[in-house]
Amino acid sequence: TGCAAGSRPATCSSWSAAEPSRTAQHRAAGPWGPPSSSPAMLGFESGRDDVLRLSPQTPGSPAAPRRQSKESSLTINCVTFPHPDIMPEQQLLKPSEWSYCDYFWADKKDSQGNNTVSGFEILLQKQLKGKQMQKEMAEFVRERIKIEEEYAKNLSKLSQNSLAAQEEGTLGEAWAQLKKSLADEAEVHLKFSSKLQSEVEKPLLNFRENFKKDMKKCDHHIADLRKQLASRYAAVEKARKALTERQKDLEMKTQQLEVKLSNKTEEEIKKARRKSTQAGDDLMRCVDLYNQAQSKWFEEMVTTTLELERLEVERVEMIRQHLCQYTQLRHETDMFNQSTVELVDQLLRKVDPAKDRELWVKEHKTGDIRPVDMEI
């Protein structure tokens, strides 16, 4: 059935059971398409509870159940909960999962205590904050990219500097390679920064493109259902008041009949009874409509909060994955960096002062004929 779950002293199962397809249709049209699990799959209890049927034909009887109702349930902000004194045994929809669908049924006073915030609003704020966090992480990565680019630029510039460029021989070769290695390092850091951008920053930003729009849609949808619930609650209250008046009228007229028995009065009593019965029927229809609306809201709350929950899992997994990508890129950067000095090390091992002297002497020698003593 499409009704609210939990053990219920009174249900509208007879009416709501007549409209299962409408509810299902609505669910399918939700902002994220078909829900991942139907209420039945989630372990919703079906309406096998004891059904209390109201006989509108019994005058005065509407008052009695109402008093009973007042004891067994409690309507807060137009949502009807079981009465705290007669706490029904409710099993969580998704036990031990700390699922959003189980913990956000009540409204909450905001920090100033003036307005109430719905549980759903709190979940939405969590989603929006999560997205903000994701955006800030992307910004952080952006800053890191800038630092890497700056570092690479400086290394590259220093690499091209002419300092000690005239060093010669094997030492000169090792030195030239050391200078070149800075350009290699710069290359490694540039690659790091470019991969950071394509593999970390961009995915973090991309993910949230339609998110806010979806959240707003979602917000409006649930808010509309709450408004409908409120207006139907108002209708119930109005119908209840009307019934009370009709019952009072009927009672009065019945007492009048006992005093002076007349044909005209009997006619009026019949009329008053018909009107009272009609008011009872009205109330019944209003309660039915209210319960339908609450049922609809309930279902949408379950499917939507489950969807938000799924989105949050997705967000955490996705961020985790891209932060792992970050550490992976850092590792690779360190690895590639290692290799930039390997060639320098090789050439440093080949540095040979004797060889360098040979090269230099061959080029600059002035004469190897030694002086001899002068003869007279």
Q: In whole angstroms, how close is the CB of 178 to a copy of itself at the nearest point?
A: 6
Q: How far apart are CA 20 and CA 14, in angstroms?
A: 11
Q: In whole angstroms, how close is the CB of 65 to a copy of itself at the nearest point?
A: 5
Q: In whole angstroms, how close is the CB of 161 to a copy of itself at the nearest point?
A: 7
Q: In whole angstroms, how close is the CB of 293 to a copy of itself at the nearest point?
A: 10
Could you say which residues in the range 183-212 bind a copy of itself, by CB under 8 A? none
Backbone angles phi, psi at 268, to 5 degrees: -65, -35
Could you say which residues in the range 223-282 bind a copy of itself, by CB under 8 A? 236
Classify residue 281 as exposed, middle or buried by CB count within 10 Å of its CB (0-12, 13-18, 19+).
middle
Measuring CA to CA, which residue among 254, 242, 252, 253 is closest to residue 278?
242
Could you say which residues in the range 318-357 bind a copy of itself, by CB under 8 A? 319-320, 323-324, 326-327, 330-331, 334-335, 337-338, 340-341, 344-345, 348, 351, 353-354, 356-357
Question: Which residue in the set 179, 195, 246, 296 belongs to the binding site for a copy of itself (CB under 8 A)?
Answer: 179
Could you say which residues in the range 290-309 bind a copy of itself, by CB under 8 A? 290-291, 294-295, 298, 309
Question: Which residue in the set 224, 245, 266, 358 belongs to the binding site for a copy of itself (CB under 8 A)?
Answer: 358
Backbone angles phi, psi at 38, to 5 degrees: -85, 160
# of chain residues touching a copy of itself (CB under 8 A): 123
If the CB atoms of residues 43 and 262 are measured against a copy of itself, the closer one turns out to be 43
Q: In whole angstroms, how close is the CB of 34 to a copy of itself at the nearest point?
A: 22
Q: In the block, which residue shows the tokens 């920090």? A: 111
Q: How far apart are CA 205 and CA 137, in angstroms?
A: 9
Q: How far apart are CA 197 and CA 82, in angstroms?
A: 53
Residue 113 found at the interface with a copy of itself (CB under 8 A): no
Residue 371 found at the interface with a copy of itself (CB under 8 A): yes
DSSP 39: T
Token pair belonging to 105:
């049924």
Amino acid at 17: A
Q: How far apart are CA 12 and CA 294, in angstroms?
A: 11
Could you say which residues in the range 144-163 bind a copy of itself, by CB under 8 A? 144, 147, 150-151, 154-155, 158, 161, 163
